[in-house]
């Protein structure tokens, strides 16, 4: 029986690259996006191109809604029988000073980036416990490690992911379930299109590798961590070209 991976925020960027990578490795794929059906369908086609025999379940819905998350998990298990890997990838950002971060913006970022990680982890645990194994990988950021001026809400959500990752890893290690996070540096995704080329060039000058990461490089990292022994757990693994 093929293994199954769930990937949130898979309509583009890191999530899409991860879906294609896991499809190529023979996994059943469950992908999610909050609203972009066309882009999600494009990801499904790319997965099938990578492996025509793979099975893909694409589900649109809001991951900050715990009831939807439970529905997605239950639907995935009913379809594929088990969940072997969970990738909590979906995330949004806001660039602005703290005094311009209103309540609605703050809550939306925390709910989407951090609360969803808890909802998915909580809902997937019973099924991973049943199989006695599993890998949960949370996509964090270097700003979760060191903080970021003008991105306090985003940095706080990612710092929360790091702490949640370590806590969940300690709780689940006796059950053979690993929980790790990947703290990404600058990645060439749509999230960074709010910055000008000049701004991005300045950042790249600070990165020893001299460039942003390709989403495929993050996807490769995600896949390899998912295949590591369960003894690798509770780690915040930074991939940033030597930046921080």
Residue numbers annotated as active site: 154
Sequence-distant (≥ 6) Cβ neighbours of residue 130 within 8 angstroms:
82
Sequence-distant (≥ 6) Cβ neighbours of residue 108 within 8 angstroms:
64, 92
Q: How far apart are CA 240 and CA 185, in angstroms?
A: 4
Inter-residue contact 213 to 192 (CB < 8 Å): no
Nearest 5°: CA angle at 138, between 20 and 241? 75
Within a 10 A sphere around the Cβ of 70, how many other Cβ atoms?
Answer: 15
DSSP element (H, E) containing 4 = strand 4-7
Which of 129, 117, 199 shows the shortest CA–CA distance to 160?
117
Phi/psi at 55 (5° precision): -110, 135
Inter-residue contact 217 to 153 (CB < 8 Å): no
């Amino acid at each position: 029986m093929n293994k199954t991976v769930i990937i949130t925020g898979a309509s583009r960027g890191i999530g899409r690259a991860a879906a294609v990578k896991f499809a190529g490795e023979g996994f059943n794929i469950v992908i999610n996006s909050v609203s972009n059906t066309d882009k999600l369908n494009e990801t499904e086609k790319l997965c099938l191109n990578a492996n025509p025999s793979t099975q893909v379940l694409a589900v649109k819905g809001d991951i900050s809604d715990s009831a939807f998350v439970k529905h997605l998990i239950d639907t995935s298990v009913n379809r594929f029988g088990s969940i072997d890997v969970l990738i909590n990838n979906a995330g949004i950002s806001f660039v602005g000073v703290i005094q311009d971060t209103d309540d609605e913006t703050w809550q939306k970022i925390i709910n989407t980036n951090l609360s969803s990680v808890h909802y998915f982890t909580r809902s997937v645990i019973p099924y991973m416990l049943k199989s006695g194994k599993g890998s949960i990988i949370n996509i964090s950021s270097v700003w979760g490690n060191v903080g970021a001026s003008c991105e306090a809400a985003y940095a706080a959500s990612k710092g929360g992911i790091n702490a949640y990752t370590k806590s969940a890893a300690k709780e689940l290690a006796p059950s053979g379930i690993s929980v790790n996070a990947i703290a990404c540096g600058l990645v060439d995704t749509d999230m960074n299109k709010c910055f000008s080329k000049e701004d991005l060039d300045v950042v790249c000058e600070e990165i020893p590798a001299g460039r942003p990461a390709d989403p495929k490089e993050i996807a490769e990292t995600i896949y390899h961590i998912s295949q590591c022994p369960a003894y690798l757990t509770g780690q915040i693994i930074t991939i940033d070209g030597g930046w921080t």
